[in-house]
Chains A and B, each alone.
Chain A
Amino acid sequence: MTDFSKPQRQSPIGILVMFFDTVRHFAVGLWPLLVLMFIKSDEMSAFLVIGGIALLFLLITVTAYLKYLNFTFFIDEASDEFIINDGIFNKTKTVIQLDKIQQVNITQSLLQRIIGVHALDVDTAGGSEKEAKIKAVSHNLALALKAKLLENERKQPIVAQATSQPVEETQASEATPFIKISLMTLLKVGITSNYIRTVGIILAFFFSIWDNVQHFAGDDSFEHNYFDDYFAAHTIIQSALVLIIVLLVFVLVVNVLRVILRYFDFKIARQRGSLLLSFGLINTKSTIIKPEKVQIIAVTRNYFQKKMNILELKIKQASSNIKEENRNAIDIPGCNETERDAILKLLFDVIPEKGLMLKPNWRKLGFAIFLIIILPLSGFFAMASGVETRFYEFAYLVPVYVIFALLVLCFGFRNYRLFINDRFVIKQSGAWDITNEIVELHKIQAITTSQLFWHKTADIGYLTIHTAGGNIGFQLGNFTIIKKYVNLWLYEMETSDSNWM
Chain B
Amino acid sequence: MENFTNETLDTTQLPRFEEVQMTSLHPDYWKVTLIHLGILFLILWSALGFLLIMDEGEFATYNNDFIIIGIVLTVLVLFFSRLAFRKKAFAFREHDVLFRSGIIATSTIVIPYNRIQHVALHEGLISRYFGLAKVQIFTAGGKESDIEVPGIEKIQAENIKQLLMGKIQKQL
Chain A positions within 8 Å of B, measured between CB atoms, are: 79, 81, 87, 89-97, 99-100, 124-128, 131, 156, 318, 444-453, 462, 464, 466-468, 470-471, 483-484, 486-488, 490-491, 493-494, 497, 499-501
Contacts and interface: CB of A to CB of B under 8 A. Distances in A.
Given A79-B165, A99-B171, A487 B122 contact: no
A483 B16 contact: yes
Contact of A124 (B95, B108, B112, B117): B117
Contacts of A499: 172
Contact of B140 (A124, A156, A452, A471): A124
Contacts of B96: 490, 494
Interface residues of B, number: 48
B27 to A, nearest CB: 22
Contacts of A94: 118-120
A447 B109 CA distance: 6
A494 B18 CA distance: 17
Contacts of A318: 140
Contacts of B117: 96, 100, 124-127, 131
A79 B11 CA distance: 37
Given A91-B128, A95-B165, A445 B105 contact: no
B102 interface: yes
Contact of A483 (B18, B106, B139, B170): B18
A448 B108 contact: yes
Given A91-B123, A487-B14, A493-B112, A96 B140 contact: no
A468 B140 contact: yes
Contacts of A494: 95-96, 112-114
A471 B165 CA distance: 25
Which of B115, B125, B170 has the most chain A CB atoms closer than 10 A to its own CB?
B115
B165 A97 contact: yes
B37 interface: no
Contacts of A497: 114, 169, 171
B95 A127 contact: no
Contacts of A490: 17, 95-96, 110, 112
Nearest to A321: B142
Chain B contact surface mostly = mixed
Given A93-B120, A125-B172, 17 more contacts: A92-B123, A93-B121, A94-B118, A94-B119, A97-B118, A100-B168, A124-B140, A127-B142, A318-B140, A444-B115, A445-B111, A453-B105, A491-B9, A491-B14, A493-B115, A497-B114, A497-B171
Given A97-B118, A483-B16, A89 B142 contact: no
B56 to A, nearest CB: 21
Which of B111, B140, B142 has the most chain A CB atoms closer than 10 A to its own CB?
B140
B28 interface: no
13 contacts: A90-B125, A94-B118, A124-B138, A126-B139, A126-B142, A445-B141, A446-B139, A448-B110, A452-B105, A466-B142, A487-B16, A487-B17, A497-B114
B14 A95 contact: no
Contacts of B128: 91
Nearest to B94: A494
A361 to B, nearest CB: 15
B22 to A, nearest CB: 14
Contacts of A95: 118-121, 161, 165
B40 to A, nearest CB: 15
B24 to A, nearest CB: 18
A66 to B, nearest CB: 13
A102 to B, nearest CB: 9
A464 B110 CA distance: 11
Nearest to A90: B124
Contacts of A156: 172
Contacts of B107: 448-451, 462
A466 B139 contact: yes
Contacts of A124: 117-118, 138, 140
Contacts of B108: 448-450
Interface in B6-23: 9, 11, 14-18
B144 interface: yes
A126 B115 CA distance: 11
A44 to B, nearest CB: 17
Contacts of A468: 140-142
A371 B24 CA distance: 36
Given A97-B168, A494-B95, A446 B138 contact: no
Nearest 7 interchain pairs by C-beta: A126-B140, A450-B107, A445-B141, A466-B145, A466-B141, A494-B95, A446-B145
A91 B111 CA distance: 25
A36 to B, nearest CB: 14
Contacts of A92: 120-123
B110 A447 contact: yes
Nearest to A445: B141
Contact of A453 (B106, B161, B170): B106
Nearest to A99: B170
